[in-house]
């Protein structure tokens, strides 16, 4: 076994690899860019090497610097994580040529699976089900239309080197095939430097289901069940689970055996994933093979109890797999939510900045010990179920604009799918993130959606259900009045503290009444007013009309997370004070409430609403980011839809266009400047 390895990555995956290495007694070397000088993975590792400036093309993507860091520190092996150089055939070969072990598949396996056209031919030869299509590079849009007609619409036009949703179009007629081919090829050329495009049949109501495989240098290859990854937004996975609620045992076995056959065809050694698209009739077709560890690997670890990073290390060190196919268990159900620094209420725009508060839910599992939650004789989960958080951040740390938006991965294991969903909803309720926006409200809404709960979804689920974007009113809740009751109970606690202050003037001390009004903040001053009665004995009782809430909670002043009982049922919520208002969050729903006397409520009703300043004359930055281009100059006339500026953040470019015709008056920000959200970029005359 190695005594020292280098992790050629950053963020949560670097921290994840370090945890397993430490458990195995292996020293670790971290690499970092100038933006990551204070990052969590740097502090966790035994040594750290600076690679260079913040942009990944000048640091994490420079193979020479990674190899030099290995030589300088004496690292015997490199774990590439995922992304960056993890599927770079040239990097894997150069590492091996330098006498350093690449903790992953051999470079020839990466090469065989890295080209989508070549990999499909190889899959076909290995008798793996492939989608009907044209697997040769297509030269012209006219040829693309002819091939699309022969295959039969709808078809999918894909770039050979594509990925992450880039270089992909769906065409349903000749016009879309013609235009889609041209735009797909241009996008592929610009993004990957490879403009080869092919066409295949588009599977209706498709599911994205993948098989985890594991191979060693002795020809032993197994599959570790499947992962359901159909909940995607713009081809990026949002929620993953294992096993899939859709496929049958027969389909699972057939997919697993085909994945193993493909891995065997390329002499696969390490952890890898074979991705399939599965139709509504459970017909399945090979999509691609990811020759690396996947982001969603923890759900497989949770249902099998197998540490995939440990297996990668052991295989790379020349060991045999310690189990056979028959010995791989499948216990319970696991779900993973990707917690991203993005604002779901602003079109999922990236949200960078400092993590003012970061408090993940209590954990009963961890990355290096992915043992599923244990069960008692009645089948109940012990110790509150299995909760795990994989992260590369910490409270007070910075979410930089240069890399992806992931804050953490939240993984929950339960005895069955409904248990796992319930556990995930509670874990999300207890996940405190402040300073940057997160997609937790969106995750909570997805988990509560009837179609998701029923397992009735496909890769188009988010686009179909939230086609117009995600709004606060899209968050379902069984009982919104519960949040009002929580606000009332918290306010009562504040009043009790005020009443207990010593030295109050006799006859003028704080007197706590019982009858109040809760104002719930609404848009443009249109608040909702709810009369309540609040009594405090052993529990706090809040009466709202015919409803009664008996509440106990461990919530503390100045804290945020609250665990407690409501009418005997456990809950987790978040409560915090902002001036006179209390902000309460539960199951993705957030309210701001103020508790007051009936007279104060009457006065608040007649208070005039002060509208925000009119900013329509300004172009505002919709997100924090780098202003990489300004396409206009003062005095220039622009038409509606014309390009004005480009902002870059978290690997994403956002092109800002004119909302209406006008004339540019003044530039208020310069090219290369870092912008805050809603910062003015230019003004119109």
DSSP secondary structure of 336-349: EEEEESEEGGGTTE
Tokens standing for residue 85: 């150089």
Residue 54, judged by CB atoms within 10 A of its CB (0-12, 13-18, 19+), counts as middle
Residue 265, judged by CB atoms within 10 A of its CB (0-12, 13-18, 19+), counts as middle
Nearest 5°: phi and psi at 120?
-70, -40
* Span between the terminal Cα atoms of the chain, in Å: 69
Catalytic residue at 288?
Answer: yes
Q: For residues 265 and 126, is the Cβ–Cβ distance under 8 A? A: yes
Q: Which residues pair with 577 in a beta bridge?
A: 582
Q: How far is CA 132 from CA 120, 198, 205, in A?
A: 10, 11, 16
What is the Cα 281 distance to its own chain's centre? 29
At 58 the three-state DSSP class reads: helix
Distance (Å, whole) CA 110 – CA 88? 7
Which residue blocks in 51-173 are alpha helix, DSSP H?
A: 63-73, 89-97, 107-114, 116-125, 141-151
Tokens standing for residue 479: 């009982």
Instruction: Give the angle subtended at the CA of 387 by the CAs of 358 and 277, to the nearest 5°.
Output: 105
At 86 the three-state DSSP class reads: coil
Q: Which residues pair with 47 in a beta bridge?
A: 29
Q: For residues 354 and 396, is the Cβ–Cβ distance under 8 A? A: yes
Distance (Å, whole) CA 350 – CA 436? 9
Closest to 362 (Cα-Cα) out of 304, 431, 305, 310: 431
Q: Which residues pair with 649 in a beta bridge?
A: 652
SS in 3 state form for 518-586? EEECCHHHCCEEEEEEEEECCCEEEEECCEEEEEEECCCCCCCEEEEEECCEEEEEEEEEECCEEEEEE
Q: For residues 219 and 155, is the Cβ–Cβ distance under 8 A? A: no
Distance (Å, whole) CA 102 – CA 71? 14
Cα torsion at 499, 503, 505, 506 (round to 10°)? 80
Q: How far is CA 281 from CA 172, 244, 284, 582, 583, in A?
A: 21, 15, 9, 50, 46
Sheet of 101-102: strand order equals 47-52, 27-33, 4-7, 77-79, 101-102
Residue among 12, 288, 336, 585 flagged as catalytic? 288
Cα torsion at 199, 201, 205, 211 (round to 10°)? -80
User: Does the N-terminal peptide bond of residue 596 adopt cis geometry, omega within 30 degrees of 0?
Assistant: no
Residue 18, judged by CB atoms within 10 A of its CB (0-12, 13-18, 19+), counts as buried
Q: For residues 82 and 293, is the Cβ–Cβ distance under 8 A? A: yes
Q: For residues 387 and 9, is the Cβ–Cβ distance under 8 A? A: no
Distance (Å, whole) CA 162 – CA 234? 14
Nearest 5°: phi and psi at 665?
-95, -50
Q: Which residues are catalytic?
A: 288
């Amino acid at each position: 076994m190695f005594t020292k390895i280098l992790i050629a990555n950053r963020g949560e995956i670097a921290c994840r690899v370090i945890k397993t290495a430490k458990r195995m007694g292996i020293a670790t070397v971290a690499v970092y860019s100038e933006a990551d000088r204070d990052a969590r993975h740097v502090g966790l590792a035994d040594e750290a090497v600076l690679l260079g400036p913040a942009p990944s093309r000048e640091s994490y993507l420079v193979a020479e610097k990674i190899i030099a860091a290995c030589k300088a520190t004496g690292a015997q092996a490199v774990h590439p994580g995922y992304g960056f150089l993890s599927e770079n055939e040239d990097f894997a070969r150069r590492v091996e040529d330098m006498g350093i072990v690449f903790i992953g598949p051999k470079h020839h396996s990466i090469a065989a699976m890295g080209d989508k056209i070549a990999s499909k031919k190889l899959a076909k030869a290995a008798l793996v089900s492939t989608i009907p299509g044209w697997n040769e590079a297509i030269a012209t849009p006219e040829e693309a239309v002819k091939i699309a007609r022969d295959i039969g619409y709808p078809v999918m036009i894909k770039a050979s080197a594509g990925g992450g949703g880039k270089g992909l179009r769906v065409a349903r007629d000749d016009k879309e095939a013609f235009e889609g081919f041209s735009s797909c090829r241009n996008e592929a050329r610009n993004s990957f430097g490879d403009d080869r495009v092919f066409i295949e049949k588009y599977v209706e109501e498709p599911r994205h289901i993948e098989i985890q495989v594991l191979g060693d240098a002795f020809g032993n290859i197994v599959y570790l069940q499947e992962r359901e990854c159909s909940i995607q937004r713009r081809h990026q996975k949002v929620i993953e689970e294992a096993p899939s609620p859709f496929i049958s045992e027969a389909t699972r076995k057939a997919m697993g055996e085909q994945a193993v056959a493909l891995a065997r065809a390329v002499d696969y050694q390490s952890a890898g994933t074979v991705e399939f698209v599965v139709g509504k009739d459970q017909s399945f077709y090979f999509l691609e093979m990811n020759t690396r560890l996947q982001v969603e690997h923890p759900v497989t670890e949770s249902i099998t109890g197998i540490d995939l990073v440990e297996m990668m290390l052991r295989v790379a060190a020349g060991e045999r797999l310690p189990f056979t196919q028959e010995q791989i268990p499948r216990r319970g159900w696991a779900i993973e939510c990707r917690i991203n620094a993005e604002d779901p209420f602003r079109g999922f725009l990236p949200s960078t900045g400092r993590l003012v508060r970061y408090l993940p839910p209590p954990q009963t599992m961890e990355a290096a010990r992915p043992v599923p939650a244990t069960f008692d004789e009645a089948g109940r989960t012990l110790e509150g179920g299995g909760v795990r958080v994989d992260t590369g951040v910490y409270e007070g740390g910075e979410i930089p604009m240069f890399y992806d938006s992931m804050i953490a991965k939240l993984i929950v294991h339960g005895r069955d799918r409904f248990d796992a969903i319930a556990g995930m909803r509670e874990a999300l309720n207890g996940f405190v993130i402040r300073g940057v926006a997160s997609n937790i409200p969106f995750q909570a809404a997805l988990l509560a959606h009837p179609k998701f709960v029923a397992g009735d979804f496909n890769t188009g689920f988010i686009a179909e259900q939230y086609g117009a974007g995600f709004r606060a009113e899209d968050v379902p809740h069984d009982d919104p009045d519960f949040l009002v009751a929580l606000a009332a109970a918290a306010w009562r606690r504040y009043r009790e503290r005020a009443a207990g202050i010593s030295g109050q003037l006799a006859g003028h001390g704080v007197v706590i009444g019982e009858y109040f009004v809760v104002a719930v903040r609404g848009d443009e001053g249109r608040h909702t007013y709810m009369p309540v009665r609040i009594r405090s004995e052993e529990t706090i009782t809040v009466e709202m009309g015919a409803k009664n809430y008996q509440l106990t909670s461990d919530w503390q002043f100045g804290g945020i997370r609250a665990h407690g009982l409501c009418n005997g049922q456990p809950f987790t919520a978040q409560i915090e004070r902002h001036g006179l208002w209390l902000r309460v969050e539960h199951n993705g729903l957030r309210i701001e409430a103020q508790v007051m006397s009936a007279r104060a409520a009457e006065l608040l009703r007649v208070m005039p609403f002060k509208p925000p300043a009119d900013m329509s004359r300004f172009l505002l930055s919709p997100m924090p980011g780098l202003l990489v281009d300004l396409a206009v100059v003062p005095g220039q006339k622009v038409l509606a839809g014309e390009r004005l500026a480009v902002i870059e953040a978290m690997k994403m470019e956002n092109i800002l266009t004119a909302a209406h015709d006008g004339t540019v008056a003044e530039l208020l920000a310069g090219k290369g400047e870092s912008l805050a959200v809603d910062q003015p970029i230019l003004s119109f005359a």
